[in-house]
Amino acid sequence: MRARILGSAAGGGLPQWNCGCDNCHAVRRDDPRVRARTQDSLAVFRGEHAVVCNASPDIRDQLAAAPRLHPRGVRGTPISAIVLTNGDLDHVLGLFSLRESQPLAIYATAAVRRGLVEHNAMCATLSRFPGQVVWRTLELEREVELADPAGAPTGISVRAFPLLGKLPVHLAKLSPSPEDNVGLSLRADGRELVYAPGCALPPPGLGDGADALLFDGTFWTSDELIRLGGTARAEDMAHIPISGPEGSLALLGRCTATRRIYTHINNTNPMLALGTAQRREVVAAGWEIAEDGMELLS
Amino acid sequence: MRARILGSAAGGGLPQWNCGCDNCHAVRRDDPRVRARTQDSLAVFRGEHAVVCNASPDIRDQLAAAPRLHPRGVRGTPISAIVLTNGDLDHVLGLFSLRESQPLAIYATAAVRRGLVEHNAMCATLSRFPGQVVWRTLELEREVELADPAGAPTGISVRAFPLLGKLPVHLAKLSPSPEDNVGLSLRADGRELVYAPGCALPPPGLGDGADALLFDGTFWTSDELIRLGGTARAEDMAHIPISGPEGSLALLGRCTATRRIYTHINNTNPMLALGTAQRREVVAAGWEIAEDGMELLS
């Protein structure tokens, strides 16, 4: 099993279209201390099969930049399955960029699927022909082997587990469910990768024993957006901040994952810039900071 | 008035994620004969105001690549208004990438607006706060001056006119209307730019007297996709092919626009590659082929 971080930014990416924060400004003036980042997504490979976790709005660029995800033949894709961790727009908009005469197998909890399919006419564009999308339901805490649209097994298994989160703005009228936001344990060939890009509170033991934990690195502090004139705290958006006594760096201090990596990083997060105290603190604690195109495992 | 072609490709872009046609393959191997292209969009500038026509899924990249569209200050945008020519996903998905605490003024016909807003829960993400989106109705053949969300005039006027088109797949159950697909005549400072990125049949006199006509260059031939294993003819998708006695090159042969430019070009179109007979034919007829970032007028 190999993995590639297709995108490591939170919703909006880096730079974000309407943001002039220090990080966005640095990327626009080509400051080498801050790298551009596309929105959160992960690809996992085994043999001929590729599985993409979350379909970000940047998926066209992300696939173009990854030779192993290029089509084989005149029409086709090595992507055997897509797994969704929630219904956030930065995790599902990319599905509409995968419209074409191409069957897709999409794995999601029943709650995520309902929110996406039953409330958006655009999903009809993914039902152009019978079998275009094969939806497969992720049940919480049940490990399943991922299969391609025709049912061929990939050798990669997934177990979804509940993570404290929040319904996306466009589905805020629906009843909350523990299936609204999940983490994924991906396994193949005796390796395990845990992917938890959005999380309000890490459950005890998260990532323990895994080869790698990819965890929500959205915000450094709770009031990061408020300092820039916004109104929402990190907690209001169901993202635990990294810093502070109640932050993820403290709460996951005893996690025994071989590698611990922050991803889904908001453009405003000061740890994105080389040379900041925040970046030094994360690295000193044994964490890595994801970058687009970063490869994991082998 | 100045204009910049933000994207010059049809839906899917170049390369298209699941396509291994000659052009997509050439871009992936960095062949200098074929340039990568993002999906169809146009920006028009006058003074401090920018107007974006169509919001493509690639809008984040397109804005990042255009310094005049970068935010001013910590949060903000020089984009005063957005104008939609139809409800195709490659023209509207980008709206969801403009979600943030940022007011938007969107101009569309009543039919396009209904299809987008009434049938897609995701649009709730563009109603986070009162006044986030100010929808303004484009009436056919009526010239209006575009204004920003607060009502400040831009000095750029637009007239929408009906173009024979087709409802997008996701809205195919709705009743067709002449408002489903429009062309735009954009005017400022005595200059005129006509933008018609999707068109099944050009109306008589289209673009005559304009400083520039940007016209639907999706397909070279009617059976372009069928030759690659597809099932739809250009006409089935409401795009007039360029070549042949009934093609746009022949039908627009007497158009008196100062510049005539093909845009919204599908990845399979052979005129995209330098050195092809098709490209020579277009250029010999006095047409240009749009590229991302191309600037027009002054």
Per-residue model confidence as pLDDT tens digits over B211-247: 999 999 999 999 999 998 888 999 999 999 999 999 9
| DSSP structure class, residue B184 | E
Per-residue model confidence as pLDDT tens digits over A256-282: 999 999 999 999 999 999 999 999 999
**Rounded distance between C-alpha atoms, residue B36 and residue A63, angstroms:** 14
**Total residues belonging to chain A:** 298
**Rounded distance between C-alpha atoms, residue A255 and residue A205, angstroms:** 7
Per-residue model confidence as pLDDT tens digits over A81-107: 999 999 999 999 999 999 888 899 999
pLDDT band at A118; cut points 50, 70, 90: confident
| % helix, strand, coil for chain A, step of 5 | 20, 30, 50
Choose the closest CB to B18 out of A102, A168, A171. Answer: A102
Residue B171 predicted with pLDDT over 90: no
Residues 6+ positions from A73 with CB-CB distance below 8 Å? B20
Q: Return the closest-CA partner of residue B257 out of B283, B288, B233, B220.
A: B288
Number of A to B CB contacts under 8 A, please give it.
Answer: 152
Distance, in angstroms, between A189 CA and closest chain B CA?
28
The answer to whether A50 and A79 have CB atoms below 8 angstroms apart is yes
- In this predicted structure, what is the pLDDT of residue A125? 84
Residues of chain A contacting B61 with CB distance shorter than 8 Å: 58, 61
**Helices then strands, each counted (H, E), chain B:** 6, 14
Residues of chain A contacting B77 with CB distance shorter than 8 Å: 17-18
Mean pLDDT score, A168-185: 90
The answer to whether A219 and A239 have CB atoms below 8 angstroms apart is yes
Distance, in angstroms, between A261 CA and closest chain B CA?
25
* Residue contact B229–A74, C-beta within 8 A: yes
Three-state DSSP at A223 gives coil
Residues 6+ positions from A22 with CB-CB distance below 8 Å? A270, A273
* Residue contact A57–B169, C-beta within 8 A: no
* Residue contact A18–B96, C-beta within 8 A: no
Choose the closest CB to B12 out of A72, A100, A168. Answer: A100
Residue B298 predicted with pLDDT over 80: no
Distance, in angstroms, between A93 CA and closest chain B CA?
8
Distance, in angstroms, between B71 CA and closest chain A CA?
5
Other C-beta atoms lying within 10 Å of the C-beta of residue B121: 20
Residues of chain B contacting A73 with CB distance shorter than 8 Å: 20
Mean pLDDT score, B24-49: 97
pLDDT band at A207; cut points 50, 70, 90: very high
Q: Return the closest-CA partner of residue A42 out of A93, A100, A84, A86.
A: A84
* Residue contact A168–B96, C-beta within 8 A: no
- In this predicted structure, what is the pLDDT of residue A229? 86
Percent of chain B with pLDDT over 90: 85
Residues of chain A contacting B19 with CB distance shorter than 8 Å: 71, 74-75, 100
Question: What does pTM read for this prediction?
Answer: 0.93
Residues of chain A contacting B122 with CB distance shorter than 8 Å: 89, 120, 122, 170
ipTM of the complex model: 0.91
Other C-beta atoms lying within 10 Å of the C-beta of residue A165: 24
